[in-house]
Amino acid sequence: MKAGTESSTRWPVISKDLRALAVAPNLIDYEQTCADFTWDEARSSLSGLPGGRGVNIAHEAVDRHASGPLAEHEALRFMSADGSAHSLTYAQLAEQTGRFASVLRGLGIERGDRVFSLLGRRPELYIAVLGTFKNASVFCPLFSAFGPEPVRQRLQLGAGRVLVTTKALYRKKIAQIRDTLPSLQHVFLVDAEGEPEPGTHDLAALMRTAPEYGPVATTHREDMALLHFTSGTTGTPKGAIHVHDAVTGHSATGLFALDLHPDDVYWCTADPGWVTGTSYGIIAPLVHGVTVIVDEEEMDADRWYSILAEQRVTVWYTAPTALRMLMKAGTERAAGYDLSALRFVASVGEPLNPEVVVWGEEAFGQPVHDNWWQTETGGIMIANYAATPIRPGSMGRPLPGVTAALVQRDADGLPLVRDGAAVLVTEADAVGELALLPGWPSMFRGYLNDEERYQSCFVGGWYLTGDLAKRDADGYFWFIGRGNDVIKSSGHLIGPFEVESSLMEHPAVAEAGVIGIPDPVAGEVVKAFVELRAGWEPSEALRLDIIGFTRKRLGAAVAPRDVAFTDALPKTRSGKILRRLLKARELGLPEGDTSTVEVKR
């Protein structure tokens, strides 16, 4: 199967001049590093629990730094609404997380018990995550913006024993469902002052009186550490299980894919309610002993540019939807800020349109480095690296230690298996389902209470990701679409991403979502929903112009047959366009699980 067009390869390759880079990248010779790499060696770069007692994420991320030269180094810097900053050093973080573990222990919370959070990005969230690891319990972060039903569903599925939240969130979302959650024994309020809230604890008071915490509890590589519910782009949320050995993957990918160096000031804009916000907003950067910026507020172009400029951020990890919003706000906006400290920009979560990669050079003086992974993989699997050329529109090449391939699909879209082995795509630029060879440390170890579903992800020796992609002759992977989002029109296989990227090249288009709608002749035809940039108004003339524009680039078989204007594309809270929902709404079908849909404020 060939993809519909080759449009994404029209963009020139961005090559790197290593002498012009501010610091020498951690990965320089891609092929050699891949050839030499082993996960066991990566494990040996971690310290392990004292006395050979196993491995614990919090020890690697905090305690080993707190007892060494980084003790007084700034670990977390929280930016609050008024722009003021509040910091915790590695030593303070070690002390606070120990206290949190001690609080858990004092209440009889044990190894493997689930601790949930429903909190904004405030210090207590970060302390709770790491303190839970120290107690050998399991952490499950929830987006604070979830409504009562998704919160109830997840707490119930995950059998949460503890919930850390605020008074307002408790009153609004938990109090009325509390009696439906028999396993929820303790609720910690991070802002309990004032009138007491029945049935809750004052976390600050508990922390003040907690006895000093001894050594980090013994945990082993395969012990469960995190439970992450997937963002649900395709349906009901599933609880992906991650273990302490994942820290090996976070460490290696922080080194290679994010190019972390000890003096970095690093900002990951993702909320820990989404896996990126824990793997790369907490664990990977702290393991590398860098200073992590946490912004407690929501996205706003000027606020973000001020943070990048004033905090002298050097490495920035963000998402396509945010970058598109910044682009929509205009390059002039960026020009008003001193972004000279920034030396590496990366993006994840959705396909990154080539136009945005290139715009990065204009706006930040850096191209944007796309990388690919998902909740189930626990860490970055495919990436563009600081030292290697970027092919705009490509997600890059697999990380050292990661083997990726494409599995052929049969006419029904199912993976092809022969004699028990998956049939791999061998031809360059041909489409298949992206698959990974199991064995990397941050791989999920199960879906909570759903072994059958977990097993169904593995076929013929490979983990199947559900994404369609192609690989070019040089080993770069190109995203085509989620398996279910791909459009089949008159025999062409059309990836929505390619069409969306082409639409975004039109000067009026800020963001686009593309779906297939049934057509008696072609099977399906392409329909696009577009958000306009500031200063443009919807009109029939503009609609026709956009259709004509994409036709010229993509050809009539692939270009949208119809374009509709919208003020807000439906998205998940982690910023992914929900094509499934666009389609359901267009066709009047049931909307399915909408618990993770972002409501525009």
CA dihedral 192, 193, 196, 197 (to 10 degrees): -30
Instruction: Give 164 or 356: the residue with its C-beta nearer to ligand AMP.
Output: 356
Closest to ligand AMP by CB, 190 or 514: 514
Q: What is the DSSP string of 536-584?
A: ----HHHHHHHHHHHHHHH-TTTS-SEEEE-S---BBTTS-B-HHHHHH
CA distance 265 to 523: 51
How far apart are alpha carbons 346 and 448 in whole angstroms? 31
Count of CB atoms situated within 10 Å of the CB of 458: 13
Residue by residue, DSSP assigns 93-128 as HHHHHHHHHHHHHHTT--TT-EEEEEE-SSHHHHHH
Q: Which is nearer to ligand AMP, 349 or 570 (CB)?
A: 349
Q: DSSP assignment, residue 171?
A: I
Under 8 Å between Cβ of 60 and 47 = yes
| Least distance (Å) between residue 127 CB and ligand AMP | 25
Minimum distance from residue 483 beta carbon to ligand AMP (Å): 9
Give, as ranges, the residues between 465 and 504 that touch ligand AMP (CB under 6 A).
465, 467, 479, 482
Q: Give the tokens for residue 253.
A: 């990918």
Q: How far is the CB of 279 from ligand AMP (least distance, A)?
A: 10
β-bridge mates for residue 372, sequence order? 382
Q: Number of residues in contact with ligand AMP, rule: CB under 6 A? A: 19
Which of residues 75 and 140 has its CB atom nearest to ligand AMP in the complex?
Answer: 140
Q: Residues near 448 by Cβ (< 8 Å), separated by ≥ 6?
A: 157, 158, 227, 238, 239, 240, 241
Find, among 371, 368, 376, 369, the residue nearest to 348 by Cα. Answer: 371
Q: CB of 514 within 8 A of CB of 486?
A: no
Per-residue contact string for residues 86-105; x = within reach of ligand AMP by CB under 6 A: --------------------
The reply to whether 404 sits near ligand AMP by the rule CB under 6 A is no
Rank residues 230 and 501 by Cβ distance to ligand AMP and give the closer one.
230
Shortest reach from residue 5's CB to ligand AMP, in Å: 17
Q: Does 598 bind ligand AMP (CB under 6 A)?
A: no
- Binding positions for ligand AMP, 261-290, rule CB under 6 A: 275
- Taking the complex as a whole, the smallest distance from the CB of residue 497 to ligand AMP amounts, in Å, to 7
- Choosing from 230, 248, 291, 388, the residue that interacts with ligand AMP (CB under 6 A) is 230
Binding map of ligand AMP across residues 361-400, x = CB under 6 A, - = no contact: ---------xxx-xx-------------------x-----
CA distances from 166 to 122, 561, 577 (A): 11, 48, 29
Q: How far is the CB of 347 from ligand AMP (least distance, A)?
A: 7
Q: Binding of ligand AMP at residue 8 (CB under 6 A)? A: no
Q: Is 7 in the site for ligand AMP (CB under 6 A)?
A: no
Distance CA 226, CA 246 (A): 10
Secondary structure letter of residue 63 according to DSSP: I
User: Which one of the spans 43-51, 141-149, 346-354, 541-549 is the region binding ligand AMP (CB under 6 A)?
Assistant: 346-354
Would you say 30 or 317 has its CB closer to ligand AMP? 317
Q: Is 291 in the site for ligand AMP (CB under 6 A)?
A: no
Q: Nearest approach, Cβ of 173 to ligand AMP (angstroms)? A: 22
> Is residue 321 close enough to count as binding ligand AMP by CB under 6 A?
no
Q: How far is CA 569 from CA 233, 531, 566, 578, in A?
A: 14, 7, 7, 8
Q: State which residue, 359 or 372, has the beta carbon closest to ligand AMP.
A: 372
Exposure on the CB side of residue 387, measured as CA atoms within 13 A: 15
Quick one: CA dihedral 385, 388, 394, 397, positive or negative? negative
Binding letters toward ligand AMP, positions 548-587, x by CB under 6 A: --------------------------x-------------
d(CA 59, CA 67): 10
Among 14, 163, 169, 348, binds ligand AMP (CB under 6 A): 348
Measured from the CB atom, is 27 or 270 closer to ligand AMP?
Answer: 270
Cβ 504 to ligand AMP, closest distance in Å?
15
Binding of residue 213 to ligand AMP (CB under 6 A): no
Nearest to 465 by CA among 440, 509, 435: 435
Residue number, 77 or 369, with CB nearest to ligand AMP = 369
Binding flag, residue 353, ligand AMP (CB under 6 A)? no
Site for ligand AMP, rule CB under 6 A: 230-231, 275, 348-352, 370-372, 374-375, 395, 465, 467, 479, 482, 574
